[in-house]
Amino acid sequence: MRSHLLNDTTADSYRRSVIEGVERVAAKIAATHKPHTGISVDELAPVIAGIDLDSPLLDAAAALDELEEVYLRDAVYFHAPRYLGHLNCPVVIPAVLGEAVLSAVNSSLDTWDQSIGGTLMERRLIDWTTGRIGLGPGADGVFTSGGSQSNFHALLLARDEACRLVMKNSEFPLTKAEVLPKLRIFTSDVSHFSVKKSAAMLGLGYEAVITVPVDENKRMRTEALAHELSACEAEGLFPMAVVATAGTTDFGSIDPLPEIARLVAAHSSWMHVDAAYGCGLLASPTRRHLLDGIEHADSVTVDFHKSFFQPVSSSAVLVRDRDTLKHATYHADYLNPRRMVEERIPNQVDKSIQTTRRFDALKLWMTLRVMGADGVGGLFDEVCDLAAEGWNLIDADPRFEVVVRPQLSTLVFRYLPAGEVRADLVDEANLHARKALFASGEAVVAGTKVDGDQYLKFTLLNPQTTTADISAVLDLLAAHAEQFLGESLVHAS
């Protein structure tokens, strides 16, 4: 069994094994044009349940053959131009190369003594990102597993900063336990659910989140925010943080960051910008201005695995004031004792809520070194351009109704039949169209609700997708919806 360990005596076996795997995936990708085969859970579950995990095949080629049946054949392929579902991007090859390197070397980025070099490279990328945001010389941050973790981490820092300030400024002694129930978080009603979930996990409860309404472009109404902030203080409560979204998951809308920054400053709160989706603009040669105002943030979430074409996971949380990261610091005797800070040993675990942590930063490093920032940002520009063209297409199509001209690369629309059709049937027709399309494997689209009505969503992150693909998918959706309505009307009569 030692022959399976990757070491100085098995380098050849490692090479053969990985190349064989790469060959299979390359062949599969080259031959795959549809997002998936359309297999159902009921068909696939027995195949996977039938694998006896206690009877190993003892051979990589045999395991790859089996993998074809249980996974590769039916997986969802995001490189397919008609995959328009969630915020999954096709990945760039330099990043996939980085992924192969990082899992073979297997550095762990918690401490310097497990990641010589990697620690400094991650720090360079954090500085590169904070530089692009404009957070200033005191900025810092750390890579995380994703936007949800980054949001949680940022709100943890905001919570503990708020507690510290409220306790310091109080005329009478207050305990943290007394302050926590008085903290409030403000975010728009189309922000990511991880904001509410973080509030609950941080011991504040869902009720601590005040949702602020949005305008017709799905951007936070700042006059409503101003009103809520004042009301909060009038009740003797504390505005712990305002979470602005730069690229909402459904609409790609960007909250008015400069106005929000002014309000946050006036109320001595903490500004967090969730740029999980919109962060691609940081590298965009033409659209960086859409993020103007982000430089005022106290903390920022970026998801490189959404708009930087990186494989999952690759995300970071950035802060304006590196001192605030101390709220997640713990000095463990065995790992990162306090003396290491004095010896200036750069242990990233001091800033992270994880301990053992992947060198995900290497993927972005390879991407920037091979393609450059303009290269990767240009790809994001292409999908934003495509979304603008797609909006025109849907807007001109009498079968569909489209909402919100896109700032980024999503399109939210619904099938709307001519004539009088009951609203619940329209909802069902749209839901049916999405499900039937998924079951066919021809294309994948997402769905969401707008003012209680069922809508469909294209998330465009693939520069290979064309307006012809968009038109074709619209035709497929309309056909499924029409068929559904036709059958419903037959049943009704």
What's the CA gap between 222 and 259, in Å, rounded?
7
- State the minimum distance, in angstroms, from the CB of residue 148 to ligand PLP: 3
Residue 136, token pair as written in the block: 């200033």
Q: Which is nearer to ligand PLP, 232 or 318 (CB)?
A: 318
Task: Answer yes or no whether residue 147 interacts with ligand PLP by CB under 6 A.
Answer: yes
Q: Please pick, from the candidates 111, 194, 269, 307, the single residue that binds ligand PLP as defined by CB under 6 A.
A: 194
Task: Answer yes or no whether residue 277 interacts with ligand PLP by CB under 6 A.
Answer: yes
Q: Which is nearer to ligand PLP, 148 or 348 (CB)?
A: 148
Q: Please pick, from the candidates 111, 130, 148, 307, the single residue that binds ligand PLP as defined by CB under 6 A.
A: 148
Please, are residues 174 and 127 in contact by the beta-carbon 8 Å criterion?
Answer: no
Residue 318, Cβ neighbours under 10 Å: how many?
28
Which range of residues in 141-149, 210-218, 385-393, 435-443 is near ligand PLP by CB under 6 A?
141-149
Q: Which is nearer to ligand PLP, 114 or 144 (CB)?
A: 144
What is the length of the chain? 493
Task: Answer yes or no whether residue 315 interacts with ligand PLP by CB under 6 A.
Answer: yes
- State the minimum distance, in angstroms, from the CB of residue 110 to ligand PLP: 20
Which range of residues in 273-281, 337-345, 375-383, 443-451 is near ligand PLP by CB under 6 A?
273-281
- State the minimum distance, in angstroms, from the CB of residue 337 to ligand PLP: 32
Across-strand partners of 449? 454
Q: Which is nearer to ligand PLP, 312 or 370 (CB)?
A: 312
Task: Answer yes or no whether residue 410 interacts with ligand PLP by CB under 6 A.
Answer: no
- State the minimum distance, in angstroms, from the CB of residue 485 to ligand PLP: 32
Task: Answer yes or no whether residue 276 interacts with ligand PLP by CB under 6 A.
Answer: yes
Task: Answer yes or no whether residue 310 interacts with ligand PLP by CB under 6 A.
Answer: no
Query: Which positions from 60 to 89 touch ligand PLP by CB under 6 A, shown as an x/- string?
Result: ---------------------------x--
- State the minimum distance, in angstroms, from the CB of residue 95 to ligand PLP: 16
Cα separations in angstroms, 124 against 131, 141, 257:
10, 11, 26
Position of minimal CB gap to ligand PLP: 147
Which range of residues in 88-96, 123-131, 142-150, 170-178 is near ligand PLP by CB under 6 A?
142-150
Which range of residues in 33-41, 69-77, 93-101, 274-282 is near ligand PLP by CB under 6 A?
274-282
Q: Which is nearer to ligand PLP, 143 or 438 (CB)?
A: 143
Task: Answer yes or no whether residue 274 interacts with ligand PLP by CB under 6 A.
Answer: yes
Q: Which is nearer to ligand PLP, 17 or 293 (CB)?
A: 293
Q: Please pick, from the candidates 255, 295, 303, 381, the single residue that binds ligand PLP as defined by CB under 6 A.
A: 303
Q: Please pick, from the candidates 188, 245, 354, 462, the single residue that binds ligand PLP as defined by CB under 6 A.
A: 245
- State the minimum distance, in angstroms, from the CB of residue 392 to ligand PLP: 24
Please, are residues 298 and 271 in contact by the beta-carbon 8 Å criterion?
Answer: yes
Q: Which is nearer to ligand PLP, 17 or 459 (CB)?
A: 459
Cα separations in angstroms, 319 against 132, 135, 150, 236, 296:
13, 7, 11, 28, 10
Name 438's Cβ contacts closer than 8 Å, sequence gap at least 6.
38, 444, 445
Q: Which is nearer to ligand PLP, 29 or 353 (CB)?
A: 353
Footprint on this chain of ligand PLP (rule: CB under 6 A): 87, 146-148, 151, 192, 194, 245, 247-249, 274, 276-277, 303, 315
